[in-house]
Amino acid sequence: MVKQERLPPVAELCVATMVLVVIGGTYIAAHVPREVPLALPTVLVVAAFALMAVNVGLFARVKEFAWGTFWLVFTRSLAGYGVISGLLVYVFVRGDIPGDVMGFLAASLVVYAIDIPLLLGFSVARYQAAGPERG
């Protein structure tokens, strides 16, 4: 097991990223089917992507970690959450969501589909014996 104080705040940044996505999704849902002002969703989606990129960058610098376990959990959950996100996009398309709003919802689902598997993989692997393998 890696000393916890040496790990970046991956879980906390994942949660913060999801908070941004949930706020944006709630804001959009509160306005549909009327015209949705897109300034706030734009800021939130960009901030979510930026925060996720910072999180991945910090996490990728960790050398001593159970990377094999991380990649096992991450890839399996990525497949599952990718399917869930795809189904939600289908529901939005069938629900006649306008194209500009659909773009923000799809971008939010991309963040969701990557962020949650990152959180799951990190949460499982952080308590495993560290190995030199790197996925």
* pLDDT bracket for residue 32 (50, 70, 90): confident
Residue in the structure block whose two tokens are 């659909």: 102
> How many other C-beta atoms are found inside a 10 Å radius of the C-beta of residue 124?
16
pLDDT higher than 60, residue 42: yes
7-22 average pLDDT score:
97
| Coil, strand or helix at 65 | strand
The whole-number pLDDT of residue 21 equals 97
Assigned token pair, 25? 């999704």
The whole-number pLDDT of residue 99 equals 87
pLDDT higher than 60, residue 105: yes
Encode pLDDT of 49-93 as tens digits.
Answer: 999 999 999 999 999 999 999 999 999 999 999 999 999 999 988
User: 103 Cβ partners below 8 Å, 6+ apart?
Assistant: none
Q: Quick one: how far is CA 61 from the chain centroid?
A: 19
Q: What are phi and psi of 122, to 5 degrees?
A: -65, -45
The whole-number pLDDT of residue 109 equals 96
pLDDT higher than 90, residue 108: yes
Alpha helices of 10-126 — where are they, by DSSP H? 10-31, 39-60, 67-94, 99-125
The whole-number pLDDT of residue 95 equals 86
